[in-house]
Structure 1
């Protein structure tokens, strides 16, 4: 073997070793230990998945012993993961997975999980709470009213609404909240909400979902 081949082989070997080191560093970063983190098996996953009280999800599909922390996606600002359940690939909200395993309900009919600090990325179990859907809507409406009171944005002269309001209205419409409820919340006529929905008014305002498309 001539010297050029030897140099080439050494170079390939060093590249391979560097790759292994980088993979090792990457995996350690993903699997960093948190002292008081507790893991529980997700019972409705077809394969071995676990959720932690910190809102992390771990898959054991490739690493049977340690598992790998799953990188979540984002749906309307909420973190989500996908895995097989009952033979079908389904998407699950991380905060609801965490609450299922670590947060007790005070009422068996509670079906909605809220973030106490309003931060959708903070899925630590102490930041989550089970409530009735009506309670969640009431809380959201109070939050919107508070933001409107504190808003310093200039309001368009021919409307009681501002750009932030319209963005919220469009998001609420996309989630199926009725126009009558939205109109009462923002103290405008139901016809004004209808015109926003049709795109007759405020058509230049896009929701994050519309921008993504």
Structure 2
């Protein structure tokens, strides 16, 4: 493997200085992060070392880099993207094109907006949208039957909000069909 020097630091070919850590770490297009060979303050040669990776809570590989003498964990896919992929539109998120969080090769990454990232996850089947409308939503405060009662009631929004322990805004939105739109007014008649 060929070697070259960056600021007196020996680096293997295929690796480039890691953006933001140019004098301390290098990275290649596969997401391998290396601490290059260097001579320490006592004059000893320290050999280059490929940094080990661990998984973050959501399954993304990360590496620990020293920042002001303190180790901080960084997601490998973001380091690869910041170093190898231009981001002219200043997009915030990095998407794995094939959906595989372990494939951090630069050719598999792209900068995206949060919305594009979510759309991509649905498009490739990573995110399946279960129908959790109404009662099937674990945080629902109303039942389908209560929604129908609210729509039929002649009481004020203030009275109904106290009765059902929801905000007046919620009552207005239920009546307008903005919330609980899946509940049709004819459902009560069908159930009887």
TM score, norm. by length of structure 1:
0.49
Q: Determine the structure 1 residue equivalent to 2:27.
A: 51
Q: Determine the structure 2 residue equivalent to 1:186.
A: 130
1:83 and 2:65 equivalent?
yes
Offset, 1:136: 0.3
* Cα separation, 1, equivalents of 2:61 and 2:49: 17
Runs of 4+ in 1 over 6 A off after TM superposition: none
Q: Determine the structure 2 residue equivalent to 1:103.
A: 85
Do the aligned residues in 2 keep the contact of 1:51 with 1:98 (CA within 8 Å)?
yes
Do the aligned residues in 1 keep the contact of 2:81 with 2:110 (CA within 8 Å)?
yes
Do the aligned residues in 2 keep the contact of 1:54 with 1:125 (CA within 8 Å)?
yes
Q: Please give the secondary structure, in 1, of the residue aligned with 2:137.
A: helix
CA RMSD after TM alignment: 3.1
Offset, 1:69: 0.9
Offset, 1:96: 0.7
1:124 and 2:68 equivalent?
no
1:68 and 2:40 equivalent?
no
Do the aligned residues in 2 keep the contact of 1:95 with 1:123 (CA within 8 Å)?
yes
CA distances 1:106-125 after superposition (whole Å, capped 9, x unpaired): 412x0111111111111111
TM score, norm. by length of structure 2:
0.54
- Structure with the greater alpha carbon radius of gyration: 2
Q: Which has the higher helix share?
A: 1
Do the aligned residues in 2 keep the contact of 1:111 with 1:132 (CA within 8 Å)?
yes
Unaligned runs of 5+ in 2: 1-11, 40-44, 141-192
Count how many residue pairs are aligned between Structure 1 and Structure 2: 123
Do the aligned residues in 2 keep the contact of 1:47 with 1:84 (CA within 8 Å)?
no
